[in-house]
Amino acid sequence: MALISTIGRFSGHIQSNGLRCLSTSITHNAAAKKTVSKPNGKNIVLVEGVRTPFLMSGTDYADLMPHDLARGALEGLVARTNIPKDAVDYICFGTVIQEVKTSNVAREAALGAGFSEKIPAHTVTMACISSNQAITSVMGMIAMGQIDSGIAGGIDFMSDAPIRHSRQMRKFMITQQKAKSVSAKLALASRQLSMAAFAPELPAVAEFSTNEVMGHSADRLCAAFGIGRKEQDEFGLRSHTLADKATNEGLLSDRLDYTVPGKGKVVQRDNGIRPTSMEKMSSLRAAFVKPHGTVTAANSSFLSDGGSACLIMSEEKALAMGYKPKAYLRDFAYVSQDPKDQLLLGPAYATPKVLEKAGLSMSDIDVFEYHEAFAGQILANLAAMDSDFFAQTQMGRKTKVGVPPMDKFNLWGGSLSIGHPFGATGVRLATTAANRLKKEDGQFALIAACAAGGLGHGMLIERYPA
């Protein structure tokens, strides 16, 4: 059953609740602490995570290449942890927009950062959850006993993007190599090329299966769930305000000081964090569904450049090397939905799945870190999680999972403000969750994200004992 038609029956109920989901309070379970470790499984730990500052595309990183930022993240991780470069067994990076010259950017970054050529490295892509996939790939290798330690990371670089010749031109360029003379090449050109052949192919910004841009999907999702412009602007302002506060208080400790190669400039801050006012937020025009859409540049994540990396080990290996891990990486789930009507609802589907696997409930979670693609996407997910009707008709569940209390949700800002280099965000979410657990004296954290193609991911993280 299509989501839009189904939600039409209860959007009035959701709209009447308005932003009440943002202030919903769930009583925290103060009983004896639970454990979610597996009796016969390896404990896998997050030792440390770092990232370059996330910058708006076209700014200080504009003249770099993706592997420069990935290398910077690896070098920063080595400096932060003092990990010997021959003590890493494997390296995996996630990315979305691939630079064709460095298609396996994990390998090129590792070599550039001085890791041994004997250390295997591969690159994965899963849209906005690409570094989530890199993390779980490394976890899987540790769980299977293939390795004891690995680095997972992510990179995306929107200051540059691969722009191709048209297919017609590409066919001509391939076949003309077989021509033996100038006259033969000219003959091929006259037969194969039209004026249309000279038009470049720009990178797709739309879903391949639906031909709809993600912002358009977000606007439709907000209309379906009754999420208004004011609520979206309020959430966008919240993200920027909290990120600015966290920056000024030194809480974003995963961020490195990054020296831009070739320029010598040291970048120390994320440059997309811009706390403003509701008046300015509300003055922006619709970005996708014009003129009456509610998704704008102010309540959406922006095109970003940045890289991230984290050190993951078996607990036994980490302790043997003298490390004090930040957190256990406990369990995770990947989900997928209809990419037309449910493109951005990954967190709503992943959250109950992860909790049920671990035997936990929402009240057991102390820290929530969800990817903010759009303010409306976050609010729509919260509305879905707060609806018995949605749970029953769309998820095959008896009851709703409930919503996170906002005093536990993205308290240091999120992708709307910090930035969203597609492939790098998953590591940021995991590292921030681990850092918040320590700062806030919590036990469990849940991270979740949506991704293009109707994909989603959720992961349970547990604070390492003091």
Q: How confident is the model at residue 196 (pLDDT cuts 50, 70, 90)?
A: confident
DSSP string over 260-326: PTTT-PEE-S-TT-----HHHHHTSPPSSSTTT----STTB---EEEEEEEEEEEHHHHHHTT---S
Q: Which pLDDT belongs to residue 23?
A: 36
Mean pLDDT of 195-214: 84
pLDDT more than 70, % of the chain: 92
Q: Which pLDDT belongs to residue 33?
A: 64
The chain-wide mean pLDDT, for the chain, equals 91
Please write the tens of the pLDDT for every residue from 244-267. 999 999 999 999 999 999 999 999
Q: Which pLDDT belongs to residue 103?
A: 95
Mean pLDDT of 101-111: 97
CB 461 within 8 A of CB 330: yes
Rounded CA separation 323/337 (Å): 40
Question: Is residue 312 scored above 90 in pLDDT?
Answer: yes
Please write the tens of the pLDDT for every residue from 377-427. 999 999 999 999 999 999 999 999 999 999 999 999 999 999 999 999 999
Please write the tens of the pLDDT for every residue from 122-175. 999 999 999 999 999 999 999 999 999 999 999 999 999 888 888 888 888 888
Please list the residues that pair with 459 across neighbouring strands. Answer: 332, 447
Q: How confident is the model at residue 232 (pLDDT cuts 50, 70, 90)?
A: very high
pTM: 0.91
Q: Which pLDDT belongs to residue 139?
A: 98
Rounded CA separation 387/402 (Å): 8
CB 427 within 8 A of CB 152: yes
Q: What are the distances in angstroms from CA 26 to CA 168, 325, 341, 362?
A: 59, 29, 29, 8
Q: Which pLDDT belongs to residue 13?
A: 47
Question: Is residue 2 scored above 70 in pLDDT?
Answer: no
Q: Is residue 70 classed as helix, strand or coil in its secondary structure?
A: helix
Of 272, 228, 232, nearest to 420 by C-alpha is 272
Please write the tens of the pLDDT for every residue from 10-44. 454 444 444 433 433 333 444 446 778 776 689 99
In the chain, what are the domain boundaries? 3-25+41-160+215-461
Question: Is residue 192 scored above 60 in pLDDT?
Answer: yes
As annotated, the active-site residues are 128, 450
Between 7 and 307, the more confident residue is 307
Mean pLDDT of 228-237: 98
**Least reliable range by pLDDT among 14-18, 182-186, 222-226:** 14-18
Q: How confident is the model at residue 434 (pLDDT cuts 50, 70, 90)?
A: very high
Q: How confident is the model at residue 3 (pLDDT cuts 50, 70, 90)?
A: low
Rounded CA separation 319/325 (Å): 8
Rounded CA separation 449/459 (Å): 9
Question: Is residue 355 scored above 50 in pLDDT?
Answer: yes
Q: Which pLDDT belongs to residue 39?
A: 66
Q: Is 3-25+41-160+215-461 CATH 3.40.47.10?
A: yes
Q: How confident is the model at residue 189 (pLDDT cuts 50, 70, 90)?
A: confident
Backbone angles phi, psi at 31, to 5 degrees: -70, -175
Mean pLDDT of 302-308: 98
Question: Is residue 219 scored above 50 in pLDDT?
Answer: yes
Please write the tens of the pLDDT for every residue from 42-67. 999 999 999 999 999 999 999 999 99
Looking at the chain, how many residues does it have? 466
Rounded CA separation 132/127 (Å): 10
Rounded CA separation 305/298 (Å): 18
Mean pLDDT of 272-298: 96
Please list the residues that pair with 461 across neighbouring strands. Answer: 329, 445
Angle between helices 375-385 and 346-358 (to 10 degrees): 50
CB 256 within 8 A of CB 73: yes
